[in-house]
Amino acid sequence: MRGVSAPDSTGAGRGRTAPTRPVRAAAPPPERTTRQTAVEEDSVDAVIAWFAEEGRDLPWRHEDASTWAILVSEVMLQQTPVVRVLPRWLEWMERWPAPSDLADAPTAEVLRCWDRLGYPRRALRLQECARVIVREHGGRVPRGEEALRSLPGIGEYTAAAITAFSHQERAVVVDTNIRRVLARSVRGRALPDRSYSAAERAVATASLPLPRQRSVDWNRAVMELGALVCTARAPRCEQCPLAGNGCAWFAAGRPRAQEDTRRRQAFEGTDRQMRGMIMALLRRDGSAAEDQLLALDEANIERARRGIRTLIADGLAVREGTQLRLP
């Protein structure tokens, strides 16, 4: 996901009836007495009920979506918004509805279909993943987070998301959106830590409801809340089910985040931009002369050369004499 970009997210469709709060099991649950350690049960209820009314109706959330379809959506959604992913996902599912279909596809066609989603190595990893699923798992996406994480391109977040959203099992799903909701509601901070920390992991684990289905509903709902309402730059607290009771950050008056001193590189003029320009040309024409590629930045030819070298190294392009082509 991933975003996300870390990665961004999945869940179920709009209009589901909000689940009733379950009766406690005989065994006592983990201690959840303070907002500093976990989301309270009433807040879980509120977020799940909100999602039942406001959750987006996305095709990978439908009950008939296959595990493979959900896996593809999670990889595409890493660091890429839903509005860009949706048309690409629909095309992929039309062309390659099962791992075996993608495994047999020409790699050049896979990269063309990836289009402008960005980070095209994800497309290569998805095809590698499909081939491993066919070769080692009989064409079926395996169950269990450990087995999923053994697949190419599948990390901790994606394995947990597939386990929760497809296999309907209890899993600690944590993407950028969930981290932000928990940072505000539990820890009273405007933004999560710079990188996924042990403290964040502890809050996410303690906040996950114990009943299996309730945990799945919570993962869907809190992720959607972060994507639509508890956003990074312009949170819509007036629409948040936690604003009245359950958000430490809102209760404290929405204190500003500590200044982030990390330098952010502009996209314009970067090597990443150059790689994208080269890939766009190769997707359009299939191949291009090196002189044509170097002319993409006549003021900095070395930048274009770096783009060519790194694309070849990443398996995204192949050199044939003075030509560069898709693999």
Residues carrying an active site annotation: 74
What Rg do the C-alpha atoms of the chain give, in angstroms? 22
Q: Of 261, 230, 8, whose CA–CA distance to 119 is shortest? A: 8
Contact (Cβ atoms closer than 8 angstroms) between residue 195 and residue 244: no
Rounded to 5 degrees, what are φ and ψ at 192?
-70, 175
The string of DSSP letters for 299-325 reads T-HHHHHHHHHHHHHTTS-EEETTEEE
DSSP-based helix, strand, coil % in the chain, nearest 5: 50, 5, 45
Distance of CA 249 to the CA centre of its chain: 25
Contact (Cβ atoms closer than 8 angstroms) between residue 326 and residue 317: yes
Distance of CA 203 to the CA centre of its chain: 20
Token readout for 263 is: 């330098």
Half-sphere exposure of 167 (CA within 13 A, CB side): 18
Contact (Cβ atoms closer than 8 angstroms) between residue 206 and residue 29: no
Token readout for 157 is: 């977040």
Residues 6+ apart with CB under 8 A from 30: 38, 206
